Amino acid sequence: MTDTEQRLAAIRGDAPPKRHNARTIAALTGNPGCTRRAVLDGAGVDKPALAERVGFPARFGQSRFAITRGNMFEAQVKADGGAELLRLVAERLGVPVPAAVRWTDLDAGDDLATRARRSAALLTEALSSVESDTADPPGADEPPRVDEPAALFDHPMLGLTVAGQRVHLEPDLVAARLGGRFHVVEIKSFPVIDGQADPAKLAGAAVQSAVYVLALRELLTARGHDPQLVSHEVVLVCPRDFSNAPVAHLLDVRRQLLVVRRQLDRMDRLDTLLAGVPADFTADPAADPAALADSLARVPARYAPDCLASCELAYLCRHEAQGQTGALGRPVREALGGIADVAEVLALAGGETATDPERAEAAALLRTAARLRADALASA
């Protein structure tokens, strides 16, 4: 165990680290500047339990109806050994629909590491023979190809390194090898109506898919293959309009790949972040709530209203950020000349002179704003 790992274990407490899935990794990209979140996620702290313990429980319930619908749609799309899914994906990619498809369900077995090994072996099985046969390396602008029959791999167990730890991703995808390349296929049950989906859900799906693309690429690299065999174009399969009929769309996730990559790299340098964290910092949900709250307060968070939708600790951080202009949203803070504290904003607006010369301009703006506001309210 390295020093960092020891520290992270101490922060986490007795429990084993919380497992990540594509959703939690995707959520890491939400607020990259937040140290508290990076440390807690890096340590694999049980954040929902922690939030509950300090008195600010998260509210991330999921409705049974949504879960049922999601499972039903997924089962429907994958029915008949994936024949329908293959047709959809092939048509969307513009390649001829293969007559036969090999469907490999990698969901069997319970040991994660065994499953991951099996997934890796089967996914790359076809590649090894092909690449040794290829005499000419593929051109620079020509993506590499595999001339193997089409194949669909359901629930491949993939892995990623998050904060120095190997994380197995809860597999919720199909990897399609079609037209010579791998494509991540995500089946989502939100509708695409007249070619448009809910932007928030679409954005979430794109980041999640990017995590899978990244993991699949790492897997190929680790086995000595070209990572570019995994396309950056993800196939999203959703119900069309108000029906249950599936429709496939392509999603370019290059930007999301960069974002996820960057955040994972940042978490790899956790020891630098940890250097600024007090030595006795603990986030063990079993600890005394008052001590926990004190401890958490010593690792700075960077609360923004968006956190409410993605981080379990958001309600605690919001509570701490009371009286800060950032808690009202970054645009509000910027409009107030970047001044962080509401009390200071109002003091400057009331005519107090700024102690910091860099704030003179903001102070003048706020003073004028206050005068104009009072003037308009009086004249109305």
Partner 1 sequence: MSTLRALAAAQAVATGVAQPVATVRHLHLSRRPLVLVPLSMAGEANAPLAAMVGSAPGEGRLLIVPQPRNRDQRFAFAAELAAVVLPYVDAHRTANEAVAVDRGRDVRYRYLDAPQLLVPNPAGVTFLRLLGRSTRFRRVDGEYPVPPQVPLLGRWLTFFAERAEHPGSSALVAMTQALTLHWATGQSAVEDLHLPALLGWIAPSAGLSGAEAAARAEDPSLCPPAGPATDPEFDNRLLAPAIEAYSAADDEATRVEAYAELERLLRDQLTPTWELMWRGLGLLRALPPGARVAGRWDGDRDAFTAHADHLDSDGAPQPRRDGAVAAAARLHRLERAAATYAVQRAYDDPLVMAEYRLTGEAFVGEVLLADPTRVDDSGRRPVLRPRIQLMTTDPVLVPVGATLSSPSRPGQKARTVFVTPTADGKTEVVLELSGGMGRGLTASPGSVPEVGERLCYTTLSDAYVPAAAFPAVEETPWTHGGPPATAAAAPDEEWA
Contacts to partner 1 by CB under 8 A: 59, 61-70, 189-191, 193-195, 239, 241-245, 305-306, 308-309, 322-323, 325, 327-329, 331-337, 342-343, 345-346, 349, 365-366, 368-373, 375-377, 379-380
Residue by residue, DSSP assigns 124-144 as HHHHHHHHHH--SPPPSSSPP
Among residues 112 and 370, whose Cβ is nearest to partner 1? 370
Burial class (CB in 10 A: 0-12, 13-18, 19+), 42: buried
Query: What gap in Å lies between CA 355 and CA 349, rounded to an integer?
Result: 14
Q: How far is the CB of 369 from partner 1 (least distance, A)?
A: 5
Q: How far is the CB of 9 from partner 1 (least distance, A)?
A: 33
Contacts of 34 (CB under 8 A, 6+ apart): 301, 302, 303, 307, 311
Q: How far is the CB of 259 from partner 1 (least distance, A)?
A: 21
Helices (H) and strands (E) in the chain, counts: 15, 8
Query: What gap in Å lies between CA 128 and CA 206, rounded to an integer?
Result: 30
Q: How far is the CB of 222 from partner 1 (least distance, A)?
A: 37
Among residues 61 and 94, whose Cβ is nearest to partner 1? 61
Query: How crowded is residue 91: how many other Cβ atoms within 10 Å of its Cβ?
Result: 12
Among residues 68 and 221, whose Cβ is nearest to partner 1? 68
Among residues 62 and 132, whose Cβ is nearest to partner 1? 62
Q: How far is the CB of 186 from partner 1 (least distance, A)?
A: 16
Among residues 178 and 349, whose Cβ is nearest to partner 1? 349
Query: What gap in Å lies between CA 182 and CA 176, rounded to an integer?
Result: 5
Query: How crowded is residue 256: how many other Cβ atoms within 10 Å of its Cβ?
Result: 24
Among residues 2 and 322, whose Cβ is nearest to partner 1? 322
**Max CA-CA distance within the chain?**
84
Q: How far is the CB of 366 from partner 1 (least distance, A)?
A: 7
Q: How far is the CB of 187 from partner 1 (least distance, A)?
A: 14
Query: What gap in Å lies between CA 160 and CA 206, rounded to an integer?
Result: 17
Among residues 11 and 366, whose Cβ is nearest to partner 1? 366
Query: What gap in Å lies between CA 317 and CA 78, rounded to an integer?
Result: 42
